[in-house]
Structure 1
Amino acid sequence: MRYVVVGVLLLISLVVLELSNAMAPSVSYEWVVSYSERSILGANKQVILINDMFPGPILKATAGDVVNVNIVNHLTEPFLMTWNGLQMRKNSWQDGVRGTNCPILPGTNWTYRFQIKDQIGSYFYFPTLLFQKAAGGYGSIRVYSPELVPVPFPRPDGEFDILIGDWFYTDYRGMRASLDNGLSLATPDGILFNGHGPEEAFFAFQPGKTYRLRISNVGLKTSLNFRIQDHDMLLVETEGSYVQKRTLSNLDIHVGQSYSVLVTAKTDPIGSHRSYYIFASTRFSNSYMTGLALIRYPNSPVDPVGPVPAAPESWDYASSVRQTLSIREDLAVGAARPNPQGSYHYGRVNVSRTIILQNDVMSSSNRLRYTVNGVSFVFPETPLKLADHFQLKNTIVPNMFPTYPSNKTPRFGTSVVDIRYRDFVHIVFENPLDESQSWHIDGYNFWVVGMGFGGWSESKRAGYNLVDAVSRSTIQVFPYSWVAILIAMDNQGMWNVRSQKAEQWYLGEELYFRVKGDGQEDPRNIPTRDESPIPENFLRCGRVL
């Protein structure tokens, strides 16, 4: 009788889910992915376009919307798109990474369909297969607040999406082959603003107006410092969190991160009749490079004049740490809901478990690989999400992945960590290497409660920020440093945990969190909280054909 009741409840939950999705507002996009030769930084390169655009079109939605994106693949290779920072409601079927989705084959199409959770903010999308991100294929995402939820600053007079990132002359296939042969990525050849080289991108300002700049680092490996000549920036949002407003002259943006700043245009007769530089310069790099864009006022000359803002010292990690720790959540305002962000007191929640993830390197047959806790990730024949759903044997090995650093010989493996639905987890990222890392968790935001140099120990908990730590989805870990986060595992599914640095990710620095409830073991998990059912249009590959 018990199983009949459970089955009925499950059926009801699925019906309710479909009804809620059907009633939610929806937005739809038709995107054609193709190649084109473009001259960038003075050199021709085959670029991946979305609807003949590089960067691609802006994806705009409101919190709670159902998003439909039909991808038509005109490439000669398989393709997948992921939504960096979007929290799809219990629906990792649509995550668009190799561990959750079969690829969209050349000459075919597939429609992503997902509902955005209660979130707002600035994000971006990008291709996830075969190192294609090195050829473009990325674009901005804006998620707006519902009409009844006030934004905690005056409505700006305009918005600009700014995608900054390093760029390489080499074709992405050649870069991929070099990595496959054990060679590391070379130094980038330049820094782009919205797909353009120096002074080719510009933003039109009107005197006295205030603009919201949504800035994302979409590059492969390089941290960048963003600043504007003779203009201050008011930081207001970080990957879906409204932050305590701070005026900044420059902002470090690490690979995969997104921010929103407000910039007020000049009003004086002299200042409002000039052009100004916008800079994105390399941080923590042996090779100093600067990307340049322009702010232009009406009737202003093309070339800016006057002093330019000095860049931070390239290797000054301490100042970057201080800036990171100074970014705090604004507890008095709401984001996608009217209630304040600080109404959930994360610092008072009991931690269910601690996971320590330590990145490192290994050499296999003289070929470079990256590891997490001594395991370099390899993909199975069938995406993990499908293997889990169809209960395929010999794909996910229970307890294979150690959740603490291991002294065992580094090895290859398919790393999956099982986490109970609604657990509250403490994760420490440790970086023992001499280059910075950048970590991202799909499907979630997390609170960045601690950061420091050296190794992590239990004594570090005493210094955690348990009141107003910022909530975000991507965090940098400086060399020989650690970062601690707290995360509420409230989004069921198979979620990718990865390095945002393309080389490390491609060469094994990733794992997956399998977040599942079990009604028999956990009475808090009733069928109405189950994940979305497998989509009717799911793609087949591997052992699921």
Structure 2
Amino acid sequence: MGALRLRGHLFPCVVLFSTLLVFVSAEDPYLFFDWNITYGDIYPLGVKQQGILINGEFPGPDINSVTNNNLVINVHNSLAEPFLLSWNGVQQRKNSYEDGVWGTTCPIPPGKNFTYILQVKDQIGSFYYYPSLAFHKAAGAFGGLRILSRPLIPVPFPEPTGDFTVLIGDWYKAHHKTLKALLDGGHRLPFPDGILINGRGTNDTSLTFEPGKTYRLRISNVGLEHSLNFRIQGHQMKLVEVEGTHTVQSMYSSLDIHVGQSYSVLVTADQSAQDYYIAVSTRFTSKVLTTTGILHYSNSKKGVSGPIPTGPTTETGWSLSQARSIRTNLTASGPRPNPQGSYHYGKVNVSRTIKLVSSAGQIDGKQRYAVNRVSFIPADTPLKLADYFNISGVFRVGSISDKPTHEKIYTDTSVMGADYRAFVEIVFQNRENIVQSWHINGYSFWVVGMDGGVWTRASRKEYNLIDAVSRCTVQVYPKSWTAIYIALDNVGMWNVRSEFWARQYLGQQFYLRVYTPVHSLRDEYLLPKNALLCGRAQGKKLEPSV
């Protein structure tokens, strides 16, 4: 039985970046990482597989940072294929060049390296990183990323005794290239083979608690498709943070965590001295997969016993009620020493409504997925580089509409234009019988409403305009809608996608181009001097033109 340990706050410092364009505040600390991406043997479900490791680790190492830290992450690609890492929930203010998805960043060629320079500006909370290309996510290379509050900023709960990253997700025994080939051949993925907790199968992960002490668990669903329910035998969980927002501190016996989402809970070792099951199960599936870990009391006198705690049924009403109960703690400070509720999002005039509807269909005899009838296909050049160098013919702003059309599904390099500093309402309408999950890179947004049926303007009467939770990934229940408000205050090219990884791979994504005609470092950083250039940007001069 493997033990989950809390990684320390020591960081390797081997990256030289004197030739790079440093665009962050000199007074904010730098943290340096040197990562080697390799293949290696893993046994997550008891079967030997080829996984993607970071410095020999699966999952990859935790990133422990503090608000406004500058992260300098040198990534060596020792695979035989291009590779990219992206940062789920890290907003990368004014800097979409470092986003690590094909629309913004050239892949790291085999045998080469690239140094990401990120600042976790004005953020706190629990997030993760992951590989964004070629279905690599099905092989590993993901890990936890936490942003702690600065020492002088009060946190709305006593400091816990320990702080653990808990990565959960569905998993396949098949090689990631086999899964990719299925998708490329126009087929859907089969049902997964199991559920992992920190890269391990049943009872292979253990958390050790001291009796009477309270611990923080940062739980992220890093899987490929399925919503998961998380629970601990005999223990309650106090929810305290969701993707960078301190929440009203409600107690839960179990939590639905949809793919791509992250939650922080406090758990107190207040039961008898023995071991307890940690249980994770698929939700809304006819066949339920369950895996377990162990919560071990340091003075335990008894191993796990009794039935594994059961989760909720496949019925969505319970989950919808739970989602609505998650609200912002308006009296808590965020990354700055002012209450999180001091920005009155509910009093800002909405300048635009965007309605997004997913769809599925066959194109040339192969399975594809779309948003507003457009199935995204990558261009030969990252869109952000084409924008920067004014390369025509790579993409067209407005190639995806604000609202669904009645056309058949078709392919395009879909880019939606948006004005800098606009305040926008986005409605995700789900016409399917599955739970969907959506993410917007570079942003957090307020989840103002969700309900069954079809959204109409009258649905706004149900909106929470007082203490809606702010987050970066949101679920949409079957035959239902979810509405968000978003302040477009981050210039750049940002990925909007389904978190169902097969669907985003087969086109269920697009890019939101948040644009201002005024070119100023106040609004957006320049192209980094170490930027990789590829496609039609190959050979372009790196010197900034302002």
One-letter amino acid of the counterpart of residue 90, structure 1: K
Deviations 1:439-465 (A, max 9, x none): 000010000001011111111011111
Deviations 1:459-478 (A, max 9, x none): 10111110000000000111
Matches within 5 A, 1:78-157: 78-157=82-161
Tell me, yes or no, if structure 1 residue 450 matches structure 2 residue 449. yes
Shift in Å at residue 308 of structure 1?
3.9
Shift in Å at residue 299 of structure 1?
4.4
Higher fraction of helix: 1
CA distance in 2, matches of 1:238, 1:284: 22
Deviations 1:335-388 (A, max 9, x none): 101100000000000111111111011201221100000000011100000000
CA distance in 2, matches of 1:416, 1:486: 20
Matching residue of 1:471: 470
Deviations 1:69-105 (A, max 9, x none): 0001111110000000011111000000010010001
Matching residue of 1:285: 285
The match for 1:543 among 526, 536, 541 is 536
Shift in Å at residue 497 of structure 1?
0.5
Deviations 1:83-137 (A, max 9, x none): 0001111100000001001000111100000211211000000000000000011
One-letter amino acid of the counterpart of residue 329, structure 1: T
Deviations 1:16-60 (A, max 9, x none): x95753332111111111111122212111001111001110011
CA distance in 1, matches of 2:532, 2:226: 34
Shift in Å at residue 302 of structure 1?
6.6
One-letter amino acid of the counterpart of residue 69, structure 2: D
Are the aligned partners of 2:363 and 2:409 in contact in 1 as well (CA < 8 Å)?
A: no
Q: Which stretches in structure 1 are left out of the alignment for 5+ residues? A: 1-16, 520-525
The match for 2:166 among 162, 169, 175 is 162
CA distance in 1, matches of 2:495, 2:299: 49
Go from structure 1 to structure 2 and tell me whether the alpha carbon gap of 1:275 and 1:62 turns closer, same or farther (over 3 Å shift).
Answer: same
Shift in Å at residue 310 of structure 1?
2.4
CA distance in 1, matches of 2:201, 2:307: 21
CA distance in 2, matches of 1:227, 1:28: 35
TM-score, structure 2 as length reference: 0.93
Are the aligned partners of 2:430 and 2:436 in contact in 1 as well (CA < 8 Å)?
A: yes
Go from structure 1 to structure 2 and tell me whether the alpha carbon gap of 1:107 and 1:528 turns closer, same or farther (over 3 Å shift).
Answer: closer
Matching residue of 1:52: 56
Deviations 1:487-532 (A, max 9, x none): 000111111111111011100000111111124xxxxxx8353211
Q: More displaced, 38-47 or 276-285?
A: 38-47
CA distance in 2, matches of 1:216, 1:19: 30
Are the aligned partners of 2:23 and 2:525 in contact in 1 as well (CA < 8 Å)?
A: no
CA distance in 2, matches of 1:77, 1:284: 36
Tell me, yes or no, if structure 1 residue 241 matches structure 2 residue 257. no
Go from structure 1 to structure 2 and tell me whether the alpha carbon gap of 1:382 and 1:302 turns closer, same or farther (over 3 Å shift).
Answer: farther
One-letter amino acid of the counterpart of residue 385, structure 2: L
Are the aligned partners of 2:374 and 2:411 in contact in 1 as well (CA < 8 Å)?
A: yes
CA distance in 2, matches of 1:188, 1:146: 40
CA distance in 1, matches of 2:306, 2:469: 36
Matching residue of 1:330: 329
Matching residue of 1:304: 304
SS for the counterpart of 1:292 is strand
Matching residue of 1:399: 398
Matching residue of 1:435: 434
Deviations 1:380-400 (A, max 9, x none): 100000000011111221322
Matching residue of 1:3: none
SS for the counterpart of 1:40 is coil
SS for the counterpart of 1:21 is coil
Count of residue correspondences = 518
CA distance in 2, matches of 1:190, 1:291: 7
Shift in Å at residue 207 of structure 1?
0.5
CA distance in 1, matches of 2:513, 2:32: 29
Q: More displaced, 227-236 or 284-293?
A: 284-293
One-letter amino acid of the counterpart of residue 22, structure 1: A
Go from structure 1 to structure 2 and tell me whether the alpha carbon gap of 1:47 and 1:178 turns closer, same or farther (over 3 Å shift).
Answer: same
Matching residue of 1:346: 345
Matching residue of 1:8: none
Are the aligned partners of 2:89 and 2:128 in contact in 1 as well (CA < 8 Å)?
A: yes
SS for the counterpart of 1:376 is strand
**Percent identity of the aligned residues?**
50
One-letter amino acid of the counterpart of residue 350, structure 1: N
SS for the counterpart of 1:335 is coil
CA distance in 1, matches of 2:34, 2:199: 21
Go from structure 1 to structure 2 and tell me whether the alpha carbon gap of 1:387 and 1:19 turns closer, same or farther (over 3 Å shift).
Answer: closer
Deviations 1:315-342 (A, max 9, x none): 2101100000100000111110110000
Superposed structure 1 runs of 4+ greater than 3 Å apart = 17-20
One-letter amino acid of the counterpart of residue 54, structure 2: I
Matching residue of 1:4: none
Matching residue of 1:368: 367
TM-score, structure 1 as length reference: 0.93
CA distance in 2, matches of 1:396, 1:221: 29
Are the aligned partners of 1:296 and 1:302 in contact in 2 as well (CA < 8 Å)?
A: no
CA distance in 2, matches of 1:296, 1:527: 54
One-letter amino acid of the counterpart of residue 311, structure 1: G
Deviations 1:221-262 (A, max 9, x none): 111000000011000000000000001000000000000000
Matching residue of 1:482: 481
SS for the counterpart of 1:23 is coil
Q: Which stretches in structure 2 are left out of the alignment for 5+ residues? A: 1-20, 539-546
Q: More displaced, 235-244 or 389-398?
A: 389-398
Are the aligned partners of 1:360 and 1:431 in contact in 2 as well (CA < 8 Å)?
A: no
Are the aligned partners of 2:210 and 2:299 in contact in 1 as well (CA < 8 Å)?
A: no
CA distance in 1, matches of 2:301, 2:141: 33
Tell me, yes or no, if structure 1 residue 386 matches structure 2 residue 379. no
Matches within 5 A, 1:12-27: 20-27=24-31
CA distance in 2, matches of 1:142, 1:297: 25
Matching residue of 2:491: 492
One-letter amino acid of the counterpart of residue 284, structure 1: F
Matching residue of 2:9: none
CA distance in 2, matches of 1:368, 1:434: 18
